[in-house]
Structure 1
């Protein structure tokens, strides 16, 4: 892809997932290859390297001076011929490591000396503060070093590729290195250069790069005046990327708001005519409203909500008004009723508080709130209880078809149906057990309970604060649209079809995103000459129109 093709496809590139991030990478690589600026009268930059070597020979801290690096072939890095091709270590006068004062000596910590570690290396240009501070005693009794302001701080372990300039004196730990640059190297230019280097590490648990490997990375040095112009041009283009990203975020927010209001209007339709009008508006704007796989979830919930209220059944007549027990409920088809969950249940209960002493490594299954995830009962790390003979547990013993609802903790409001189990299982005090009078309603009610416009919307009024929770009376008050048995069978069959259609749309949008991302990678790679690894794109057959 040449520059003309790139400009022709710029809209697709910029709007692709991660497109702006790739544009930033492109800017950096073009900067280091000398393609961002033009120079009428090139000046040979190799004398700059000679000047740096002279400063190293005269440097007072001999032990920290970076040794002269092995020569590197000019062919290994794309640069203008007047730039000096070298290694990263040729551009730094000294390199300083760090360490960690002993945690066993409280006197070493909580002082006034900032102590930097990888967690302090944010995506910022400057490092001005740290989470931890040490004392003078801690500095003296450790391998940490006090780094003067203006040094380049780089990660050599865990956060590989992170880099910053410290504007305050600080100490560093063993995962960081501090580089002292000569006046011949612009600090901002060095940051640009470093971000384009392939800083890769080794290690079975934590990835790290050895100091010699870091200093041996290929580099290039332009004349001082060109360094300044490159930095200015990069700053200009990065500001444009920031502006573009801000516009995209604003557009995405507007799109989300429009999708939300459009779907809310469909879900809130109270008559067939209003439903037809709001759905037509949705259809007319469908391409503008759905761009990412995650956009489909609310559409699915709206469709399911309509289906669960009988609005999508053919040839049905509706009651004139909703039953008074339902808070804000809409009319239902003839023969349907709004009922509370309590009215549909034999009982609603939860586990006893005193069962902690019964927890065992073997025995009957013990259902906790963390076992209900993705709106299903999933025993990833099962717990067990061994009950004494006289323990009262009959009411909390689950059976197939029961509904379970988490009522405390961060997982509150999640609902699951009990499948066939190969052993007895009891619910904990954090889980409500709902024993239905009519087991044929279990799947229908479960889908209603997990719908954003059904049970979840009703329970949202109770779930808030730092310690969200539900009591059993609140659980029992959830309004449920109750269909006839024949309508229930028809609706569940339709829901499976709608689910498949929504899943197909999600795959289609995923393929669209992956294809766009692949285009960006190919464009950047072709312009920079650098191969970029990319994930496999989903089979294009999945991109059929839904």
Structure 2
């Protein structure tokens, strides 16, 4: 790719998702292929530089520079450049092996910091250091200016090969899972550092690790890396140009981040005002603004997430569907529920429940339409309880599962591979009186996951509660209420525990449900489902746009190879 072409497409790439990161990769790839600055025929070619490198190498090793076979060459380079094996232009030093008993997580007299893979990520950081006795460190194992520290072993193939260059001598060393590449002083060592951040290097390292159980970049593999070497003067010009372009990328990233923050803030502000308008005219004005700018407001995954929250909140505020004056009011529905409870108690099917406290005016969070009622959740259920406070006896061949709150997802019970099985006898011992009106909600740890019971063979753990709704309450509507930010805010307000949050059964019973007429409950459910499908499509379109932009950047990047 011509440099001019690159600068023409730069603004377009920078606006795509992850575009600036892709720009950085393209810059580095173009740099090591001789495409970032023009060649100068008057400069001393790399051939002469290789002679100097060979003389310098003889001080370390008597072996000559290794000849590179034609099939090993990874890409074309300018005629004035040469390829070299890494071992011919750099010294490679493995890190220190030590016993855990010899190390300390605190600095001690006579101890020095030891860098590990977590301290390497483009730059060297000094977080979560380990310290070892200074006498264990051999002179070559101190980190020196221009050393490139590399993660050579990791549990993830994506982390193997992470590199960072020291800008000065550091009074520290590096562990056995790391190594140091010490470039020859004959070449410009900042240029070598840029090679270790190029896509060519990352791809080569990942290919080294394919098919290996433990992700490991051996010293032998590292030595075999093929490095493109420009003339020395061009190395300096390349580094200067890359530095300039990386500064430009930093600026693009800052502007992109600022625009994104403004975009999200504007969207969140509109949705917040929509949920708390000063009056009906204010609501209509804000909604018209959102409707007329829908394509501009919802172009990011974060904004669609907020849209979902707003849809649910508007639904339980009575603002999502029109009220029908012919609908039976919720007050009549509550009278019918009270009569149903009396009947069940008389028949011995329902224990007499403790009377719930009346709803105080200062408890009501917002005004509702005429025909709606505030009601405590405990009023709408025949039974509310939690799961087993203990551990059942597990078995490998049972047909019943022990579940918790993390098995509840969007109305369904999801059995995972790590769910424990129990026998029929254990199931009978601990089963709860569940039916087709049962709703599960997670109330410990993760709050607000919800699922319906559909005859699954399960024992419920204590991190979830269950309640059996009385008839004439739309359980899908109750699920929508539990999915709202209003319910989650209530849970976090009432929850105990600093690390693991827990909502008591008492507070679940006391939760205020905004109850519409029964017919309106169904209309709300249908409207929410339609709008959630729209959100699904929006997210899919955003993802598709991101993938297209990323693919475009990939194609453009490969055009430079």
TM-score, length basis structure 2: 0.80
3-state SS of paired residue (1:79): coil
Aligned to 2:296: 288
Deviation by residue 1:9-53 (Cα, 9 ceiling, x = unmatched): 433310111100111112212222333334552222222211121
Distance 2:231 2:495 in 1: 63
Distance 1:179 1:503 in 2: 48
Distance 1:284 1:514 in 2: 27
Distance 2:2 2:182 in 1: 39
1:412 aligns with 2:447: yes
- Please tell me whether the aligned partners of residues 296 and 506 of structure 1 are also in contact (alpha carbons under 8 angstroms): yes
Aligned to 2:141: 146
1:20-31 correspondence to structure 2 within 5 Å? 20-31=20-31
Pair 363,220 (structure 1): closer, same or farther in 2 beyond 3 Å: closer
Report the alpha carbon displacement of residue 275 of structure 1 after superposing the two structures with TM: 2.9
Report the alpha carbon displacement of residue 188 of structure 1 after superposing the two structures with TM: 0.9
Distance 2:548 2:465 in 1: 45
Report the alpha carbon displacement of residue 6 of structure 1 after superposing the two structures with TM: 4.7
Aligned to 1:83: 81
Pair 373,11 (structure 1): closer, same or farther in 2 beyond 3 Å: same
Report the alpha carbon displacement of residue 470 of structure 1 after superposing the two structures with TM: 1.3
Of the structure 1 ranges 240-249 and 174-183, higher mean CA displacement relative to structure 2 is found in 174-183
Pair 472,502 (structure 1): closer, same or farther in 2 beyond 3 Å: same
Report the alpha carbon displacement of residue 233 of structure 1 after superposing the two structures with TM: 1.9
Pair 174,471 (structure 1): closer, same or farther in 2 beyond 3 Å: same
From 196, 201, 205, give the equivalent of 1:199.
205
Aligned to 2:372: 336
1:312 aligns with 2:346: no
- Please tell me whether the aligned partners of residues 371 and 516 of structure 2 are also in contact (alpha carbons under 8 angstroms): yes
Of the structure 1 ranges 470-479 and 167-176, higher mean CA displacement relative to structure 2 is found in 167-176
Deviation by residue 1:472-500 (Cα, 9 ceiling, x = unmatched): 23222322222223222333223332222
- Please tell me whether the aligned partners of residues 149 and 179 of structure 2 are also in contact (alpha carbons under 8 angstroms): yes
Aligned to 2:65: 68
Distance 1:439 1:228 in 2: 78
Report the alpha carbon displacement of residue 156 of structure 1 after superposing the two structures with TM: 3.2
TM-score, length basis structure 1: 0.82
Distance 1:343 1:272 in 2: 31
Distance 2:121 2:538 in 1: 37
Of the structure 1 ranges 497-506 and 358-367, higher mean CA displacement relative to structure 2 is found in 358-367
Report the alpha carbon displacement of residue 132 of structure 1 after superposing the two structures with TM: 1.7
Aligned to 1:46: 47
1:380-459 correspondence to structure 2 within 5 Å? 380=416, 381-383=418-420, 396-409=432-445, 411-421=446-456, 423=457, 425-438=458-471, 440-452=473-485, 454-459=486-491
- Please tell me whether the aligned partners of residues 114 and 132 of structure 1 are also in contact (alpha carbons under 8 angstroms): yes
Deviation by residue 1:181-239 (Cα, 9 ceiling, x = unmatched): 22211221111123222323234323333433332322222233332232222112111
Aligned to 2:346: none
- Please tell me whether the aligned partners of residues 492 and 501 of structure 2 are also in contact (alpha carbons under 8 angstroms): no
Report the alpha carbon displacement of residue 450 of structure 1 after superposing the two structures with TM: 0.9
From 153, 158, 162, give the equivalent of 1:157.
153
Report the alpha carbon displacement of residue 249 of structure 1 after superposing the two structures with TM: 1.0
* Root-mean-square deviation over aligned CA pairs: 3.4
Distance 1:4 1:37 in 2: 11
- Please tell me whether the aligned partners of residues 377 and 508 of structure 2 are also in contact (alpha carbons under 8 angstroms): yes
Pair 128,443 (structure 1): closer, same or farther in 2 beyond 3 Å: closer
Pair 439,426 (structure 1): closer, same or farther in 2 beyond 3 Å: farther
Structure 2 gap ranges (5+) = 330-358
3-state SS of paired residue (1:461): helix
Pair 441,120 (structure 1): closer, same or farther in 2 beyond 3 Å: same
Distance 2:74 2:419 in 1: 55
Distance 1:58 1:9 in 2: 47
3-state SS of paired residue (2:212): coil
Report the alpha carbon displacement of residue 309 of structure 1 after superposing the two structures with TM: 3.9
- Please tell me whether the aligned partners of residues 46 and 80 of structure 2 are also in contact (alpha carbons under 8 angstroms): yes
- Please tell me whether the aligned partners of residues 72 and 87 of structure 1 are also in contact (alpha carbons under 8 angstroms): no
Pair 32,85 (structure 1): closer, same or farther in 2 beyond 3 Å: same
Aligned to 2:356: none
3-state SS of paired residue (1:13): helix
1:489 aligns with 2:522: yes
1:345 aligns with 2:406: no
- Please tell me whether the aligned partners of residues 375 and 415 of structure 1 are also in contact (alpha carbons under 8 angstroms): yes
Of the structure 1 ranges 113-122 and 516-525, higher mean CA displacement relative to structure 2 is found in 113-122
Aligned to 1:180: 182
- Please tell me whether the aligned partners of residues 268 and 303 of structure 2 are also in contact (alpha carbons under 8 angstroms): no
